[in-house]
Amino acid sequence: MTKPIPPIAEQRPHSYERHGITVSDPWAWLRDPNYPKVEDEAVLDYLKAENAYFEAVMAPHQPLIDTLFTEMRGRIKEDDATVPQRDGDWWYWSDFETGGEYRRWWRRPVAGGEDELILDEPALAKGKEYFRLGALSVSPDGRLLAYAIDDDGGERFEARVKDLTTGELLDDVIPGTLSELVWTADSGGFLYGLANEQWRTDNARLHRIGTPVEQDVELYHEADEGWRVSVGETQSRRFLVISAGDHVTSEVRLVPADDPTAEPLLVKAREEGVEYDVEEHDGTLFIHTNDTHPNFRLATAPLEAPSDWQEAIAADPHFYMTGVTTFAKLFVVEGRLDGLDQIRLHDYAGGPARPIEFPEASYVVGLGDNPEYDVDTLRLGYESMVTPGTVYDYDVASGELTVRKVQTIPSGYDPDKYATERLEITARDGTAIPCSVVYPKDFPRDGTGKLYLYSYGAYGYAIPPGFSTSRMSFLDRGMAFAIAHIRGGDDLGQQWYLDGKLEKRTNTFNDFVDVAKGLIELGFTDQGKIAIAGGSAGGELMGAVMNSDPELWGAVVASVPFVDVLNTMLDDSLPLTPGEWPEWGNPIEDKAAFELIASYSPYDNVTAQPYPPVFISGGLNDPRVTYWEPAKWAARLRATKTDDNVLLLKTNMGAGHGGKSGRWESLKEAAEEMAFVLWQLGVEG
């Protein structure tokens, strides 16, 4: 059989100068100048050639892909349904039909009656290559359903309204939304936000049912191009919430739900570096904020003086307070104690917190769907690396936990076959980095084992040590699976996040490498036997550690990777760039930021050295990591690396940042990535 020949992207001389430094970018032409339209024939021809090469290289491994897909599908209950939850006069839930790609949304009267299908995603998605439901919200009177859909992956959603009493769609259609849809108290309208030309939501608008969209009222407009606006509501539903912010600062306004055009109440004017969010109970505001400590505290203030914050719960260096929800009879504080999830109940009258206890040493738990204000039970979601997803109802009065649902694994699951540990591995600067590992109980600890290491490490996003049915295909082939809780996420608190951004960004890359080396020292694996994976900013991580320590990795999966960091942060015409400067730095104005980003940007630091096998994916319609980032990176790697290891680039021509939509189509992509890893690590199928 003739070995497939990889396509070679043409190099076209292109360079620019910033801060007295010249940067060469010979693959800059892969960005279509008419983006977001991509019509340049040379660009499309190259992407199609890479896709054809991908198909040819993976064709011999199709039996393994099919086997993995069958395994993973067999662990998913095809006709799965959520646990019904009460909201007012109705029970609401969703389900899948056997074989269905998308959800159906249902309700039933609490007083008794027939099930009502309120939204049929399979019908809406029929004939479409891509489909995603964004917002979905039923009006307070239960009569109208507002929802928003995206059918190309570009994340510009079209909002529509359905009359649930007749089943008819109303004439109210709003294209270009990028927000939740939040109803007013009288069910006569809803708040939403439009994406502007730069794909930034800089507004909050009010639409009245039955009126032309052109007459919608703009309740708030944000002038700072780096800030985004979102809409929501307090748990009491007394106020609509208009929030504005970037990655480091926030500002909140409240609007009476029964008087949405009233002057918005500014809770507290923006202050650089201060983030806060707001709940309300009986005329008192509950403010969750980091104004005095990175781990956040809880303050209260009267509605009449919303900026007069009085401390209710002080910040704790060991407890990272992640959220506060106010219910009628109590309020709930969520957070992580030294990295372990906690749910704590508090009485408004005072007294000690009441934590909800769980027996496992490491787990993920949080409030689930709790739409009502006056509740006697709380819906919780729980899982661990060995415990499938579990839905609990917690009785507030008795403290009893009632299991409402345990994730069904039709093909079978025996937790006694696996073991899990939470390790601490010392990084090069002396910092202890947590690492969660799960493995078969007979896994060897002599360095002969194969290991899959995953991480993200940006935006303060923690990777929880949760359960995965797909992961079992690695475990059942004798591999171990690890999550590195590196700096850049907020796994151990907001300071953990701050220690992996801006001028401290390289801590993230070093932590990941040092965790891998620590796992080798502990006997879990050895150099060249580690597969690594990350997406988006986690894809940037993959590119950075491929450049710095290529010999460690046996296979790399980089999904929609943010690898052209320098060029993207220099281009303020791109949708995300101004809002990203607080995360990465502004290389346009700051020479030090330019030099730091240039020192680690994966695309700019590809060198003539051997690289591990790599599988890169992108989406043509991706507004977050534009398609040319993975394309340019793949092109430079092909032209520069000195090995003959396989390099694959797959571009979804009809999807965006999340890859293909639909639970089975996305599972097929997961099977492809897994087959690539098993092939490269030499693990038997």
Average pLDDT estimate for 53-74: 96
User: Residue 656 corresponds to which tokens in the numbers above?
Assistant: 């965006």
Q: Where are the beta strands (DSSP E) in 493-569?
A: 530-535, 553-559
Inform me whether the pLDDT recorded for 656 exceeds 70: no
Inform me whether the pLDDT recorded for 304 exceeds 80: yes
Inform me whether the pLDDT recorded for 657 exceeds 70: no
Among residues 319, 401, 406, 419, the alpha carbon closest in space to that of 362 is found at 419
Q: Mind listing the pLDDT tens digit for each residue in 117-138?
A: 999 999 999 999 889 999 999 9
* CA distances to 144, 258, 335, 354, 534 from 432, in Å: 52, 51, 20, 30, 21
The confidence score (pLDDT) of residue 165 equals: 95
The Cα–Cα gap between 171 and 79 comes to 33
Relative to beta strand 250-256, strand 265-266 is antiparallel
| Helix, strand, coil tally for the chain in percent (to 5) | 20, 35, 45
Inform me whether the pLDDT recorded for 311 exceeds 80: yes
Q: Mind listing the pLDDT tens digit for each residue in 69-91?
A: 999 999 999 999 999 999 999 99
Inform me whether the pLDDT recorded for 661 exceeds 80: no
Q: Mind listing the pLDDT tens digit for each residue in 627-640?
A: 999 999 999 999 99
More confident: 35 or 550:
550
The confidence score (pLDDT) of residue 666 equals: 85
pLDDT class for 199, splitting at 50, 70, 90?
confident
The confidence score (pLDDT) of residue 7 equals: 96
The tally of CA atoms less than 13 A away on the side-chain side of residue 133 is 20
The Cα–Cα gap between 321 and 316 comes to 8
pLDDT class for 406, splitting at 50, 70, 90?
very high
Inform me whether the pLDDT recorded for 325 exceeds 60: yes
The tally of CA atoms less than 13 A away on the side-chain side of residue 573 is 5
Domain segments of the chain as ranges:
128-266, 412-663
The confidence score (pLDDT) of residue 386 equals: 96
The Cα–Cα gap between 453 and 423 comes to 14
Look up the CATH architecture of domain 412-663: 3-Layer(aba) Sandwich (3.40)
Range from 193-197, 307-311, 373-377, 409-413 carrying the lowest mean pLDDT: 193-197
The confidence score (pLDDT) of residue 226 equals: 86
Inform me whether the pLDDT recorded for 660 exceeds 70: no
Cis check for the bond before 36: say yes or no (omega within 30 of 0).
yes
| Cα of 325 vs its chain's centroid, Å | 21
Average pLDDT estimate for 13-18: 96
Inform me whether the pLDDT recorded for 321 exceeds 70: yes
The Cα–Cα gap between 140 and 142 comes to 5
Average pLDDT estimate for 323-334: 98
Q: Mind listing the pLDDT tens digit for each residue in 459-516?
A: 999 999 999 999 999 999 999 999 999 999 999 999 999 999 999 999 999 999 999 9
* CA distances to 34, 55, 199, 624 from 575, in Å: 14, 32, 5, 8
Residues recognised as catalytic? 536, 622, 657
Inform me whether the pLDDT recorded for 659 exceeds 60: no
* CA distances to 16, 90, 91, 94 from 111, in Å: 69, 8, 10, 19
622 conformational bin, left if phi > 0, alpha if psi -120 to 50, beta if neither:
beta
* CA distances to 77, 328, 364, 392 from 381, in Å: 18, 21, 8, 6
Whether the Cβ atoms of residue 195 and residue 177 lie closer than 8 Å to each other = yes
Q: Mind listing the pLDDT tens digit for each residue in 420-469?
A: 999 999 999 999 999 999 999 999 999 999 999 999 999 999 999 999 99
The confidence score (pLDDT) of residue 653 equals: 87
Average pLDDT estimate for 385-408: 97
Q: Mind listing the pLDDT tens digit for each residue in 215-252?
A: 999 999 999 988 999 999 999 999 999 999 998 999 99
Reported CATH class of domain 128-266? mainly beta
CB atoms within 10 A of CB 664: 15
Q: Mind listing the pLDDT tens digit for each residue in 146-157?
A: 999 998 877 889
The confidence score (pLDDT) of residue 677 equals: 98
Supply the mean pLDDT for the chain: 95
The confidence score (pLDDT) of residue 247 equals: 84
